[in-house]
Each structure stands twice: as structure tokens, then as C-alpha cells.
Amino acid sequence: MLLKFIVAAIGASTPLLFGTVGETLSEKVGHLNLGVEGMMSIGACAGFMVGMMTDSFLWAILAAFGAGVLAALIYAVLTVTFMADQNVSGLTLTIFGVGLANFIGIFMLGHSPSGTLKLPDGITAQMRGVHIPGLSDLPVIGELLFSYSPFVYIGIVIAILCTVFMRKTKAGLNVQAIGHNPAAADAAGISVTRWKYTMILVGGGICGIGGAYCALIINGGVWISNNVGGLGWIAVALVIFAKWKPLYAIWGSFVFGALRVLKYYVPASVIQLPTALYDMLPFVITALILVVSSMRKKRDHNIPGSLGVNYFREER
Amino acid sequence: MLRVIKTEEKTAKQMMIIRLAAFVLALAAGGLFILALGVNPLKVYGTILSGAFRSKMAVQATIKVMIPMLVAALGVTLAFKMKFWNIGGEGQIIMGAVFATYFALYHADWPFFILFPVMLIAGIVGGGLWALIPALCKVRFGTNETLFTLMLNYIALYLVAYLQEGPWRDPAANGFPKIPSFAASATLPKVLGVQMGWIVALVLTVIVFVYMRYTKHGYEISVVGQSQATAAYAGMNVSRIVLRTMFLSGAVAGICGMLQVSGSDKTLTTGVAGGIGFTAIIIAWLAQLNPFGSLVVAFLFAILEKGSSVVQSDFGLSTDCADVLQGIILFFVLGCEFFIRYRFVRDNARKAAAVKGGEG
């Protein structure tokens, strides 16, 4: 039972992991992008439609990534080049993205002869839990470590790669410098605009893959409207929980994944809660974490100093 | 190389032209998108307009759609003027609706002229308190209000889901989880064919305009919005202003929720806010946080929403089309603000210096 719970929690945490890591990259260069939900929705739509047409998991992932990049490009042009308000730009991206994904979904439904949109068998097989001969057959360990959809491993690899990039490479340190003080980074010869664009776009692409997980896996391969369903917003909050560290995002999203599947694994004999209250739980906990983490007297040193403030070179 | 410099102050007329151009460009971009789907965009835009106005009933339906958008935008305006990023409009609408619904369900025996003001006050208190929670945490601990108000949206939403599954479930609905329909005494009458919420909305528009433009409170809000440090230096109690304004912002959203359950839906469902809290942000921002501006933009958006439902039946394009177009319009208007404040110049001076440096 516990094993099943952990395995389910890791599955449920995956879209959050992508969203959190993607948003972390954007926030590292000082851009609070509230469009995660929208970028994930657009990624979900692109991933699903391309996956359905090509019957290829690889193409689905690439399409989701590309769509996320394009969605993030809107935000990047508005906030980096045109210096528009970050909050409003991100929010609009969310409204636009969710609307666009639902719109295209219903448009495709109208053109589908069967009246539903369902993934073909080929891609479903490619996304199923991996099976490594020998390793996956080990008792407990096999199921705990080697039984997931490729999405899970991609997510963890991306989180680790981002951590290595931030901590071990010169470019990564430059990026962090931009987030903390763009004017100083600019003076030191770092190309602020180029790195802001790069990080926001790559972050958007990663969010897009997270969206693809929602569309391809969560609803059993059938398209439904609003399939990201607020996970993007939890991801934005998880960035704070994970202290702007991609590696911590793995643990953070696991905790929230566990909360999301808790209702299926708590025995009725222990405690009986209405479903709605279980569904509410992740949001209540996120809110509590926000409050508690702000109550700590000491200011978090990890928060990028220029977060939310656009950089205008002439005002150095 | 291009670089960006600040431009001289533009006249009101120039700013208007730039914004209008952005709006036209947005419609053109939206048109390209519709064209890509193989549908004639001019026909779609034409259908949106005619769909919103083709009959008396259509106009009434458009006004009905406009009411919650306008009221919610007024609520957002109060908070955003203070640069308090209240994106919890959804939750505040829902809580206003929940509080009002309590009286509609349990005091339906009261006559309308008592029940109406009680439900209105309940809506104000419900929405106001829901907004006060993040405001208190912001003032006391500096909690990020954007995310906190957002989480409260979902908490409110699932609270309604819980109420309709459990305590407030209609026993007469054969096991289907829904909340009973309101008695006649708890529903708003129609005035000129539209639920009387439109009168409340118009009155609120004037009140919020006067409050923000001509009262001491309104002045304090704009000073806090410009700079909290300045406000504190001028001897203003910033915390109190933030708390008061957020209560009012939530209260107005709560009125929106009350008008929805009592005037339009005549019951409480999980869809009571239905994204209006977010649309309201776009409306308020496009209106430059001016209440009468919100009136105009909300009317335009109502045409878009109502018209796109006709587009759905005529062209098979879903009503999400309205969200997409609203998003595109705001993208363009956000982008055009840049050309009001800045301009690009070609960076010749630097190139010359670089060449010179190369020679030396």
C-alpha cells in the first residue's frame, strides 16, 4: 500500500516538477512569469495533437517543448524588450494559453469523426512505465525506481541538469548574477538581454513538457478541456517552497504529488473526508507554506534580487 | 545596433492613437489566427457584432454578461491602483456568493425587501473577509499576495464543491449533487428585461469613481500605489490603507458573486465565478484603472463573449475564442505602452567609437 502510494505520488508530482523547474529558470533572471498555467496548457495542446497525429512520443515531447518556447516568447518580448508589467503580462499569457488550448481542443473535436480525441496505441505504449529487464523485476526497488513513464526520468534529468548548469558552469553563475543585479552583470560584460531571453524561453519549453504530461497521461489519453487544471499555479508557488533550486523542486513536487493522490490511499477506516476537501488540500497547504515562509524573520537569500523588476539599461 | 531611450511626453491624442492602433493590430492578429483555421475572420467578427445586437433579447443577454465583468473589474481596480496584486477575484466572487446563498437557502421566508439587503451585505462581508486574509498576511508578514490570493481562489472553489456534495445538497435532485434553486424572495427582479444587477453595477461604477478621484481614501490609495515609502513619510498609515482597500476590493467582488447567484444563476454552482475574476483583471488594466473606462471595456468584452456564443453555433468555434481574442488584445496594448514611453534609436555613436577604438 505504501509502495503503491509513493509510486502514484511520483507520477502525480511530474507535471509540477516540470512547471517548477521551468519557472525557476525564468525567475533566476528576475522574471516572475505568472503564465506557467498558460504555457503548460499550450504545451499540453501541442503535445497531445502532435502525439495523436504522429503516434510518436518523441515528437509529442518536442512539440510540447517548442510550443512552450513560443508561448514564453510572447512573455519575453513583452517584459524584456517592451518592459511591460510582469504580473499583467504573465496573467494574460495564462488566460490566453488556457483559452487557446481549450479552443483548439474543441475545434479538433469538431473535426474528429469519432467525436472524441484519443491517443493511438503506439504512443500509449511508448509512454507506459519503462521495463528494464532485471532491474525492473527486483522486488520493491524495481517498482520504486524503474517502473515509471519516461516523463518521470526526463523531469528528474532536467532538474539535475539545471542544477549543474546553475552551480557548476560560468554561464550559470552569470545568469544568477543577472537575477540578483542586472546592472552589475551588464557592467561586467554579461549579455543581459540574451540570457534573459534564453532562460525564459527554455523555462517555457520545460513548462510545456509538463503540460504534455497532463494531456497525455493524466486523463488516460483522452483530450478534455482545462486539463492542466491549476497545476501551473501550484508550480509557481512551489518555486518559493523549493527556494529557487531545481534540485529541491524534486522534493517539493513530490510532497504535492503525494497530497494530490492522498485521497485514494487513506483507508476509509482511518479518516473519512469528502472528496472536495481532499482536492482542496494542496492549495491549503501551499497557502500555509506561503504564510509560514514569509513569517520567518530572515530574508531568503536565494530569492533573485531583481525579481519582478524590469531592467532598463539607460537607468543604471 | 538598436537601443532604447525614453521619449518626450506624448499628448493625450497621440497616446489614444497608439492604443487604438494596437487594438486594430490585435484584431488583425486574431483575424489571422481565425483565418488559419480556415474560417473567414470578417464573417466571424461580423457575427460577433450581430450576435450581440441582433435582437432585443440578444442585447439583454449582452448586458447580463456585462454585469459581473464590470463589477469584478471595479473590485480589481481598487486593489491594483494600490499596486496590490489581487488576483483572487475568483475566490472573492465565490465567497460573496456563498455568504449570500446561506441567507437565500435558510431565510427564504423573509420578504424580498429584507432579504435583498441582507444578501447584499452578506456578499460584501464574504468577499471582503476573503480578501482581508491575504491583506493581513501581506501587512503583517510580507506574504506574496499574488500567490496567496490565487490559492484562496481554489480553496473557495472546492468549498462550494464540498457544500454541494454535502451540507447544502438538494435532497430533491435524485442524488445529483446540486444546491437547491432559490425561492422567488431571494432572486432579483428584472428591470427593462435584465436582472436588476445592472443598476447596482452602474451605481457602483459612479461610487468607485468618486471614491478614487475625490476622497481622501482615494488619494491615499494612489499614493501607496506610487510609493509606500512616500506614503509612510507623509504620515499615512500604510497598513491600514492596504487592509481597508483590500476589504473594499473583495467586497465589490463579493457583490458581483451575490448578483450572479441571486440575479443570473438563481442557485450556487462551482461555476459561479467561471473565470470572471481573471477577465476582470484584463478589463481593469485595459481601462487604465478608470471605472468609466471599465464600463466601456466591459461592454466591449460582453459583446465579445455573447457574440462568440453565436459564433460557436454558426461556425463550430468554441466560446474560448473570446478568451483568446481578449488575450491578444491585451498583449498588443501591453506592448504598445512601450511606444508611448520609449523609442528605438540607431546606435551610431557607439559604432563610431568602436571603429575608432579598432584603429587605435
**Three-state SS letters, A152-188:** HHHHHHHHHHHHHHHHHCHHHHHHHHHHHCHHHHHHC
* Range 182-211 of B in CB contact (< 8 A) with A: none
Calpha distance A77→B336 (Å, rounded): 12
Q: Is A85 on the interface with B (CB under 8 A)?
A: yes
Calpha distance B285→B16 (Å, rounded): 15
Q: Is A41 on the interface with B (CB under 8 A)?
A: no
Q: Is B159 on the interface with A (CB under 8 A)?
A: yes
B191 - beta bridge partners? B194
Calpha distance B203→B218 (Å, rounded): 17
* Burial class for B85, CB neighbours closer than 10 Å (0-12, 13-18, 19+): buried
Nearest to A256 by CA among A226, A229, A235: A235
pLDDT at residue number A148: 82
Determine the straight-line distance between the first and last CA of chain A, rounded to whole angstroms. Answer: 58
A201 - beta bridge partners? none
pLDDT at residue number B358: 45
Coil, strand, or helix at residue A146?
A: coil
- Cell of residue A264, nine digits: 485514494
State whether A237 and B324 contact (CB < 8 Å): no
Residues contacting residue B321 through CB under 8 Å, at least 6 positions apart: A99, A103, B34, B44, B308, B311, B312
Calpha distance B289→A234 (Å, rounded): 28
Residues of chain B with pLDDT under 50: 357-360
Nearest to B321 by CA among B72, B27, B57: B27
Calpha distance B193→B205 (Å, rounded): 21
Q: Please report, for the domain that includes residue A233, its CATH number.
A: 1.10.3470
pLDDT at residue number A59: 94
- DSSP H or E stretch at residue B204: helix B197-214
* Burial class for A35, CB neighbours closer than 10 Å (0-12, 13-18, 19+): buried
Region at A30 (left for phi over 0; alpha for psi -120 to 50; beta for the rest): left
* Residues of chain B found within 8 Å of residue A96, distances taken between Cβ atoms: 323-324, 326-328, 331
State whether B321 and A103 contact (CB < 8 Å): yes
Angle between the N-to-C axes of helices B56-81 and B89-106, in degrees from 0 to 180, rounded to the nearest 10: 120
pLDDT at residue number B170: 81
Phi and psi for B3 in degrees, rounded to 5? -135, 170
The one-letter amino acid at B317: L
Q: Is A312 on the interface with B (CB under 8 A)?
A: yes
Calpha distance A124→A118 (Å, rounded): 10
Q: Is B85 on the interface with A (CB under 8 A)?
A: yes
Nearest to A235 by CA among A57, A63, A68, A77: A68
Half-sphere exposure of B172 (CA within 13 A, CB side): 3
State whether B147 and A98 contact (CB < 8 Å): no
Calpha distance A190→B79 (Å, rounded): 37
Coil, strand, or helix at residue B343?
A: strand
Q: What is the pLDDT of residues A174-185, one digit of tens each?
A: 999 999 999 999
Q: Rg for chain B (alpha carbons), in Å?
A: 23
Distance from CA of B321 to the nearest CA of A (A): 6
* Burial class for B192, CB neighbours closer than 10 Å (0-12, 13-18, 19+): exposed
B346 - beta bridge partners? B2
Site of grid cell 518556447: A69
C-alpha pair distances (Å), B312 with each of A169, B223, B300, B303: 52, 45, 18, 14
pLDDT at residue number B346: 76
Q: Which residue of chain B comes nearest to A235, CA vs CA?
A: B147
* Residues of chain B found within 8 Å of residue A78, distances taken between Cβ atoms: 331, 334-335
- DSSP H or E stretch at residue B6: strand B2-6
| Helix, strand, coil share (%) of chain B residues, nearest 5 | 75, 5, 20
Nearest to A68 by CA among A143, A129, A158: A158
Mean pLDDT of A135-147: 74
pLDDT at residue number B19: 85
Nearest to B42 by CA among B253, B335, B315: B315
pLDDT at residue number B350: 54
CB A210 within 8 A of CB A17: yes
pLDDT at residue number B352: 53
- Worst-scoring range by mean pLDDT, A117-131, A219-233, A253-267, B281-295? A117-131
Considering only residues A134 and A61, tell me which one the structure prediction assigns the higher pLDDT. A61
* Residues of chain B found within 8 Å of residue A236, distances taken between Cβ atoms: 147, 150
CB B330 within 8 A of CB B286: yes
pLDDT at residue number B360: 37
Sign of the dihedral defined by the CA atoms of residues A265, A266, A268, A269, in that order: positive
State whether A92 and B158 contact (CB < 8 Å): no
The one-letter amino acid at B134: P
CB B269 within 8 A of CB B160: yes
- Cell of residue A211, nine digits: 503540460
Mean pLDDT of A65-80: 96
Query: Please, what is the average pLDDT of chain A?
Result: 88
Q: Is A115 on the interface with B (CB under 8 A)?
A: no
Site of grid cell 476509509: A268
Option in A83, A110, A276 nearest B161 (CB): A276
- Worst-scoring range by mean pLDDT, A86-90, A111-115, B93-97? A111-115
pLDDT at residue number B359: 43
Q: Is A291 on the interface with B (CB under 8 A)?
A: yes
Q: Is B344 on the interface with A (CB under 8 A)?
A: no
Phi and psi for A310 in degrees, rounded to 5? -75, 155
The one-letter amino acid at A6: I
* Count of positions (residues) in chain B: 360
- Cell of residue B103, nine digits: 441567507
Mean pLDDT of A244-248: 91
Coil, strand, or helix at residue A255?
A: helix
Calpha distance A310→A303 (Å, rounded): 16
Calpha distance A68→A213 (Å, rounded): 13
**A231-262 burial code (b ≥16 CB/10 A, e <16):** bbbbbbbbbbbbbbbbbbbbebbbbbbbbbbb
State whether B327 and A96 contact (CB < 8 Å): yes
pLDDT at residue number A300: 64
* Count of positions (residues) in chain A: 316
Q: Is B331 on the interface with A (CB under 8 A)?
A: yes
State whether B342 and A274 contact (CB < 8 Å): no
- Cell of residue B335, nine digits: 506592448
B344 - beta bridge partners? B4
A311 in a structural domain: no
Looking at the structure of chain A, the number of domains it has is 1
Name the CATH topology of B66-316. ABC transporter involved in vitamin B12 uptake, BtuC (1.10.3470)
Enumerate the H helices of B54-165 as residue ranges.
56-81, 89-106, 112-141, 145-165
Residues contacting residue B289 through CB under 8 Å, at least 6 positions apart: B77, B80, B81
ipTM summary value: 0.88
Distance from CA of B5 to the nearest CA of A (A): 7
- Cell of residue B195, nine digits: 436582472
Enclosing domain of residue A13:
2-298
Phi and psi for B129 in degrees, rounded to 5? -65, -40
Option in B162, B282, B317 nearest A277 (CB): B162
**A11-34 burial code (b ≥16 CB/10 A, e <16):** bbbbbbbbbbbbbbbbbbbbbbbb
State whether B337 and A314 contact (CB < 8 Å): no
State whether A279 and B155 contact (CB < 8 Å): no
Percent of chain A with pLDDT over 90: 47
Q: Is A224 on the interface with B (CB under 8 A)?
A: no
pLDDT of residue A272 exceeding 80, the answer is no
C-alpha pair distances (Å), A239 with each of A210, A232, A242, B73: 15, 11, 5, 29
Distance from CA of A281 to the nearest CA of B (A): 8
Q: Is A93 on the interface with B (CB under 8 A)?
A: yes
- DSSP H or E stretch at residue B20: helix B12-36
* Residues of chain A found within 8 Å of residue B318, distances taken between Cβ atoms: 102-103, 106-107
Domains of chain B, by residue range, sit at 1-39+319-360, 66-316
pLDDT at residue number A298: 59
* Range 160-179 of B in CB contact (< 8 A) with A: 161-162, 165-166
CB B134 within 8 A of CB B148: yes
* Residues of chain B found within 8 Å of residue A45, distances taken between Cβ atoms: none
* Range 54-83 of A in CB contact (< 8 A) with B: 74, 77-78, 81-83
